[in-house]
Structure 1
Amino acid sequence: MAAISREEVAHLARLSRLAVTEEELDTLAGQLDVILQAVAQVGEVTAADIPPTSHSVPLTNVLRDDVVASCLTPEEALSGAPDAAEQRFRVPRILDEDVAS
């Protein structure tokens, strides 16, 4: 017995806003029926003693310890900049809007 009818496929096509021909309705009904049967088989698996998992193997985060290190001073960071102002990179304005600062 088919798990999905032509009418249900037509309804799904309308909901999805898909244009489906009469021939495609028959083809899709058969294909969706096979998919639904496969999903039903998976649902029949007895797995009461198997804990739910998100991955098949355990995951371990590989993280390093935070280490305080020296960093660039603002002057060093801006030393190669074509233009700087108030310890910031200065770039050309790209918007014509007046921005209150």
Structure 2
Amino acid sequence: MALTRQDVSRIAQLARLELHEDEQQAMLGQLNGFFSIVDQMSVVDTRGVEPLYTPLSAVSPVELRLRDDIVTESNDRERNQLSAPAVEDGLYLVPKVIE
């Protein structure tokens, strides 16, 4: 998939970038180089290959380091709402700003 200068100009417009002629030419080369790599990768048969959640797992077994899902802080809603000008049923009341 090769891009044209018109494609680069459109992409720059969508991204709200102002590219000069020399910058567009450089960007065209970079984007086409990127898509060339993607095309090469698309040719590789990956059927039966499990995806890695981290590249390190290809080298050695990796254990997930997740913390236990336990409550570590207390519920201080009432104390936090003491300074609020208006509270009702545990919710902050604010004045209407849109009519």
Could you say whether these structures have the same fold, taking a TM-score greater than 0.5 normalized by the shorter chain as the test?
yes
2:52 and 2:9 map into 1 onto residues whose CA distance is: 37
Q: Could you list the runs of 4 or more consecutive aligned residues of structure 1 that deviate by over 3 angstroms after TM superposition? A: 61-65
Q: Which residue is 1:3 aligned to?
A: 2
2:84 and 2:54 map into 1 onto residues whose CA distance is: 52
Structure 2: give runs of 5+ residues left out of the alignment.
69-78, 88-99
Q: Deviations over 1:2-21 (max 9, x none)?
A: 71100000000000000001
Displacement of 1:44 in angstroms is: 1.4
1:23 and 1:64 map into 2 onto residues whose CA distance is: 51
Q: Deviations over 1:22-44 (max 9, x none)?
A: 12111111111111101111121
Q: Which residue is 1:99 aligned to?
A: 85
For the pair shown, the structure with the greater C-alpha radius of gyration is: 1
**Normalised TM-score (structure 1):** 0.56
Aligned length: 73
**Percent identity (aligned):** 31
The answer on 1:60 being equivalent to 2:63 is: yes
Per the alignment, in what secondary structure is the counterpart of residue 99 of structure 1?
A: coil
